[in-house]
Amino acid sequence: MRIRSALAAAAIVALAGACGSGGGGGGSSSSSSSSGEPVKINFLSLAWQKESVAANKQIVDEWNKANPNIQVTYVQGSWDNVNDQLVTQFAGGTAPDVIHNDSPALSGFAADGYLLDLKDKVPAELKSDIPQAAWDTVTFGDGKGGQGVYGVPFLQESQVIIANKKLLDASGARVPTPDDPWTWDEFSAAAKKMTKGDTFGVAWAMKSPVNKTLNLALNFGGTFFQTADGKTTVKVGPQEREVLQRIHDQLWTDKSADPAALGQGTADPLPAFYKGKFAMLPAGVFLRQQVAEQAPDGFEWVTLPGPKGTSAQQGAVSQTLSVAQDSKHPDEALKFIAYFLNGANQAKLAKGDWLLPTSQTAAADPAMTTKENGWDVATASAKNLVVAPFLKVNGFDEWKTKVATPVLQEYFGNKITLDEAAKRLVEQGNAVLERYQR
């Protein structure tokens, strides 16, 4: 009897709670300004670092105060699930008005007609403040044979080398600068010098090897994809093989890179790095945040520019803000984006996420050029960023997951030869790409 009455009471409380705390109806936007009520815009943000979330909220608050007629609701999402979330919400017509994402994800959504083409809509000031190389990362086919601009690029990541200063100095290797970076030969020589006893010169964290490898492959002009007669295929020629071979040599010929780090995620080698087991970590610029926050007292570290091959070019993708095609208030959404991504705000966002702003005004901000925490080197590396060649390849995601990731892991793990890796990347890769081009 007691359990029955307890269950009944709990049911009433729970139902009342669930129903009472339900939010108001769905939909991305509600009333229009014509009724005298403010326009409401939902902004899906993927910021997750403490400083970055704070910067996002601050900018939104400032906007809401200055624009009582266009009120923005800040909604936090998560990088790992955002595309599943958007697929459903786009299909249901309830996607947020302003969407934070990264440029590789925009291609598919643009082709399906879910994103607004911003080509002729971006204010001139914002357009001219962002270099064309960054705009290229958000320019995609519209699914009808045309090209459109489906987002405003605002944060980018380059590859740098984070080094233990003590071990670097002790090795006697030349300290590279943004104007005079190491060549890959110098990088390998320095890694060899730093390999002593239990210490490895470098740790390649290759749990997700594809983007990192493909972005660096541009150092030697390696693009991995070629398009002829409208058909895209995979290619692994001498240019593509350079970086693959050099990383492999560090691991298995020079033995200056620790094979044990291969299976690790980007941040996983950090504890061993602080302990002096690794002298250098090639990583994205964002990793500096974790080093700055976690490094033990007295641990000195420096940010070095990425190595160069025939050029210092690296592939880049961008974080972006887009407007949903179904947004009821696209003009207001774009006004908000233009404010959100002005030079001063981009500097705040870049600082919060430890990434590089696309805005040239923001890049000149003293906070972006200070020597502290390697900002000067990180910001200078932005000049080498060009659109990642894989960005516009239909089927890249599947090639990356099903073909390139296991093949590169096996190759770096010394389980297959470079010829075998190249053969599989091309043959299995072309089979995947073909399905997307029928």
Partner 1 sequence: MRRFPQYVALAAYVVFLAFPLLWLLSTALKTPQEMALADPTWIPREPTLANFADAFGEQDLVGAAARSLGVALAASLITVLISLPAAYAMARYRGLVNKIAIGWVLVSQVFPFILIIIPLFMILRDLDLVNTLPGLVVVHVTFTLPFALWMLQGYVRAVPPELEEAAAVDGATRLRSIASVVAPLLAPGVVATLLFAFISSWNEFMFALVILQNPDVMTLPLTLVRFTGPEGVARLGPLAAASLMATIPSLIFFAIIQRRLKSGLMAGAVKG
Binding site for partner 1 (CB under 8 A): 3, 7, 10-11, 13-15, 17-19, 21-28, 42, 48-50, 53, 73-76, 78-81, 84-85, 87-89, 91-94, 96, 208, 265-267, 270-272, 274-275, 277, 290, 293-297
Exposure string over 260-291, b if 16+ CB within 10 A, otherwise e: ebbebebbebbebbbeebbbbbbbbbbbbbbb
Our CB check for partner 1 shows the closer of 107 and 266 to be 266
130-133: long-range pairs with CB below 8 Å, 24+: 130/154, 130/358, 130/359, 130/360, 131/358, 131/360, 133/316, 133/385, 133/386, 133/387
94, 75 contact by CB (below 8 A) = no
CA dist., res. 99 & res. 378, Å (int): 26
Closer to partner 1 by CB, 24 or 366: give it.
24
Q: Is the separation of the CB atoms in 63 and 57 below 8 Å?
A: no
Strand partners, 101: 320
Q: What is the closest distance, in whole angstroms, from the C-beta atom of residue 356 to partner 1 in the complex?
A: 16
Minimum distance from CB of 28 to partner 1 (Å)? 8
Minimum distance from residue 318 beta carbon to partner 1 (Å): 14
Closer by beta carbon to partner 1, 275 or else 415: 275
Closer residue to partner 1 (CB): 101 or 232: 101
The least CB distance from residue 203 to partner 1, in Å, is: 13
Smallest separation (angstroms) from partner 1 to the CB of 107: 18
d(CA 242, CA 226): 17
Q: Closest separation between CB of residue 366 and partner 1, Å?
A: 26
What minimum distance in Å lies between the beta carbon of 377 and partner 1?
Answer: 21
CB of 221 to partner 1, least distance (A): 27
Residue 68: alpha-carbon gap to chain centroid:
33
Please say which residue, 14 or 170, places its beta carbon nearer to partner 1: 14
Q: What are residue 61's phi and psi, to 5 degrees?
A: -60, -45
* Cβ proximity of 288 and 374 under 8 Å: yes
Q: Which is nearer to partner 1, 15 or 170 (CB)?
A: 15
> Which residue has 């470079």 as its token pair?
418
Q: Quick one: 77 or 181, whose CB is closer to partner 1? A: 77
Q: How far apart are CA 315 and CA 384, in angstroms?
A: 8
113 or 141, CB closer to partner 1?
113
Nearer residue to partner 1 within complex by CB, 27 or 406: 27
Please report how close the Cβ of residue 4 comes to partner 1 at its closest, in angstroms.
8
CB of 374 to partner 1, least distance (A): 18
Please, which residue, 98 or 422, has the CB nearer to partner 1? Answer: 98
> 276 CB contacts (<8 Å, ≥6 apart)?
164, 166, 167, 199
Q: Please, which residues bridge with residue 102 across strands?
A: 319
Q: What letters, b where the CB count within 10 A reaches 16 and e where it falls short, cover 47-85?
A: bebeebbebbeebbeebbeebeebbbbbeebeeeebbee
Q: Cβ closer to partner 1: 79 or 252?
A: 79
Q: Tell me the three state secondary structure of residue 383.
A: helix
> For residues 275 and 258, is the Cβ–Cβ distance under 8 A?
no
d(CA 359, CA 123): 14
**Residue 177 CB, nearest distance to partner 1 (Å)?**
28
Q: Which residues contact 247 (CB under 8 A, 6 or more apart)?
A: 204, 213, 257, 412
Tokens of 326: 């179904």
